[in-house]
Structure 1
Amino acid sequence: MISIIFALIVGFVIGGVLVYFGYRYKDNSFDNTLNKLGDVEKRFDEKTNLILNQLNDRMRENRESSERTGGHMNKQMHEFAAGISGIGERIRFMGDSLKQISSFQEIFRSPKLRGQWGEVALANILSQYFPREHYELQYHFRATNDIVDSVLKLPDGRLLSIDSKFPLDNFERDKKLFAGELKNQIDSIASKYILPSEGTLDVALMYIPAEAIYYEVIHGGMAENNFNVAAYAREKRVIPVSPNTFYLTIQAINHWYRDVTISKEAREIWKRVGKILEDSKKLEESFSKLDAHLSHARSSFDESGKRLNLMNQKMERLTGGEESS
């Protein structure tokens, strides 16, 4: 459309120029003028075509650029929509996770389930670091008829009582009540599970499965009315431990077991060395006896040789005497 309009304008311009020069010049110079106008028209057409081609190229480039831009925008819109969808999925996942956490927290509302969870956690830790013959779960004391969650059988034959406590209710409600509850539990462990007459150590461990509660106990956060739970536990020879600190206790006991094992192996080696020394002494005695026997045999052999020599000499003399007579 643009090229047609442009061609019409050019035609009108050329026609006007021709009419003008036709009336003005009526001699031979008119032909020259027409030739020049033809050249001008030719160059003008070339320029026009060049401009039109450039315009067409620009329009095509603009169209392609618009298409690319539109495609890029569509791609970004799809990616944005996918991102929004992914965020929605994550929000739903977080909601489900929060529901699961809430359900898990509800489990700990029950003191019985809480206690069972602490016992299972304690048993799991012991099973990871000790062979089954080194500990016993739900150990029964004959003298008191009480049952402790677990005991460690130490290398010296004595027992280390370990009882799990998880006093969550009062911890969340009131620190003063929590301190009183801990005091009662410490008294219970000290009276029931520290029994040297039945082979226990004079200390026991109170396993607290929650690090936050253990931190409050150890760092004096439960001190109320001049009562400090950690100091009271030390006085009663009850040692509070958390999952992390219990690991350190386990490592110390494991080192003890290794030391005892190494000592036993060293004693066994010395026994074997002593046996070898004893056998070597017996072998030395046997060699001495054999040497004595060999010496006696040698002496007898030499003595027999001398007698045989004398006998030969006598025989030679007898034989020589007979010959001379």
Structure 2
Amino acid sequence: MTEIAFILLERPVTWAEAALGFAIASLALLVIVALSAWRGGSQRAFEAAMAAERAREMDDKVAEMSRLQAELTGRMQSMAEILSTRQGDLARLVADRMDGLRQQVGAGLEQNTRQTNESLGRLQERLAVIDTAQKNLTSLTSEVVTLRDVLANKQARGAYGQGRMEAIIRDGLPSAFFAFQPQLSNGRRPDCLVTLPGDGRGLVIDAKFPLESFTQLREARGEDARKAAGSRVRNDVGVHVKDIAERYFLPGETQDIALLFVPSESIYADLHEHFDDVIQKAHRARIMIVSPSLLALAIQLMQSLVRDARMREEAQVIQSEVGKLLADVRRLGERAEKLDQHFRQAQDDVAGIRTSAGKITSRGERIVALDFDDAKAEPTLPFAQGLALKNAAE
């Protein structure tokens, strides 16, 4: 038994140790088998109990589903009855709505027909207006042709520019602040002289802008013709600017700046676009070239200055009147104080009168209380002496 049976992990194992190990392994195997059998029985019992519980829950659910099905059947019947009732109500409501819609459609068609007739009537009126406008357009075309003829004439063109300038100034300023064709101290007559409040010097506005050179520039076809026309524009405008500076700048009488009115916006735009040197030359000479829109803007600015000056004058008048009003209020306060003093004096006088009246009443009551019929009364002082003594005692 002590003989070596085999070597396990470099350790010699005898036959006795091998038999003992085999026995121990067999015992452990038997224990494991017994435990497995016990666990298997417990698992089967647990599974049987779970199956029974599931069956019971299934029966309960089936019973609940049966009950719910019965309730659902009852509700379906109730809903069928309600739906049949509602369907009848809906049919009646639809019929009523259709009748109302039919009436509304009829009324709408009648209204549309009436509106269509009215629109046709207004359209005929508009056509009549259009016919009138066409006639006016024909007349305007003839007037434009006449205007072109007017602008072709130098004197007529100057009168047109003067008239347009006068219209702009009359619309923006009171008549007291401007004058047309006034005579200056040197005998010259500018087209317009505007006098601003607070400054006795007038602002000169000239409306004689040379337009012939611009007309020649627009009608030029070749490069040489355009250059010649451009040179004429520069020369004519420069000469006119020089004339304004020499004629209308009078120290102490006119402003040191003047306005040169151009009666056409397109000519003003061409001048600024192609002849900037002419504009700069005019600025150096203190001459501002203005178009109708710029002149209207300048007139609005002057109007605001005039309005401010008038407001200042009115403010001074208001201040003076307020001062007078305050003086009147002070006098009213003094007179009210004097009247209050009179009232207090009158109250004191009335109180004195009441006091005197009380004394007179009390004395009268005492006189009434005297007994003149008592013959047995003791001899007294004379009545006058007694009354004097009483008064002295009081």
Q: Give the TM-score range, shorter chain.
A: 0.5 to 0.7
Question: So what's the TM-score if we normalise by structure 1?
Answer: 0.58
Partner of 1:168: 211
After superposition, give the CA deviation of every residue in 1:155-186 in whole Å (9 maximum; x if it has no partner): 33542211102212223252122212212211
Give distance in 1, aligned partners of 2:316 and 2:263: 40
Q: What are the residue-to-residue correspondences of 1:66-215 with 2, within 5 Å?
A: 104-141=147-184, 143-158=185-200, 159-171=202-214, 172=216, 174-198=229-253, 200-215=254-269
> What amino acid does structure 2 have at the position aligned with 1:322?
F
The aligned length equals: 225
After superposition, give the CA deviation of every residue in 1:214-265 in whole Å (9 maximum; x if it has no partner): 223334x225xxxx22122222221111112112112222222333333333
Seen in structure 2, the aligned counterparts of structure 1 residues 275 and 100 have a Cα distance that, compared at 3 Å, is closer
Shift of 1:307: 6.1
Give distance in 1, aligned partners of 2:150 and 2:367: 125
Q: Determine which of 238, 244, 253 is the counterpart of 2:302.
A: 253
Query: Which ranges of structure 2 fall in alignment gaps of 5 or more residues?
Result: 1-133, 218-228, 371-381, 388-394
Shift of 1:293: 2.7
Give distance in 2, aligned partners of 1:217 and 1:185: 15
Give distance in 2, aligned partners of 1:313 and 1:187: 112
**Aligned to 2:182, what secondary structure does the other structure show?**
strand
> What amino acid does structure 2 have at the position aligned with 1:208?
V
Give distance in 2, aligned partners of 1:157 and 1:311: 84
Q: Determine which of 212, 222, 225 is the counterpart of 2:275.
A: 222
Q: Determine which of 243, 246, 249 is the counterpart of 2:292.
A: 243
> What amino acid does structure 2 have at the position aligned with 1:192?
R
Q: Determine which of 307, 313, 322 is the counterpart of 2:383.
A: 322
Partner of 2:19: none
Shift of 1:300: 4.3
Shift of 1:103: 5.6
Give distance in 1, aligned partners of 2:296 and 2:147: 25
Kept in 1, the 8 Å contact 2:172–2:296? The answer is: no
Seen in structure 2, the aligned counterparts of structure 1 residues 149 and 287 have a Cα distance that, compared at 3 Å, is same
Give distance in 2, aligned partners of 1:137 and 1:162: 9
> What amino acid does structure 1 have at the position aligned with 2:284?
E
**Aligned to 1:245, what secondary structure does the other structure show?**
helix
Partner of 2:326: 277
After superposition, give the CA deviation of every residue in 1:293-319 in whole Å (9 maximum; x if it has no partner): 333344444456556667777888999
- RMSD over equivalenced CA pairs, Å: 3.5
Give distance in 2, aligned partners of 1:282 and 1:121: 58
Partner of 2:120: none
> What amino acid does structure 1 have at the position aligned with 2:198?
D
Between 107-116 and 311-320, the greater mean CA deviation after superposition: 311-320
**Aligned to 2:258, what secondary structure does the other structure show?**
strand
Kept in 1, the 8 Å contact 2:181–2:190? The answer is: yes
Kept in 1, the 8 Å contact 2:249–2:256? The answer is: yes
Identity of aligned residues (%): 26
**Aligned to 1:152, what secondary structure does the other structure show?**
strand
Q: What are the residue-to-residue correspondences of 1:4-83 with 2, within 5 Å?
A: none
Query: Which ranges of structure 1 fall in alignment gaps of 5 or more residues?
Result: 1-89
Give distance in 2, aligned partners of 1:265 and 1:218: 42
Larger Rg: 2
Shift of 1:106: 4.1
Shift of 1:124: 2.0
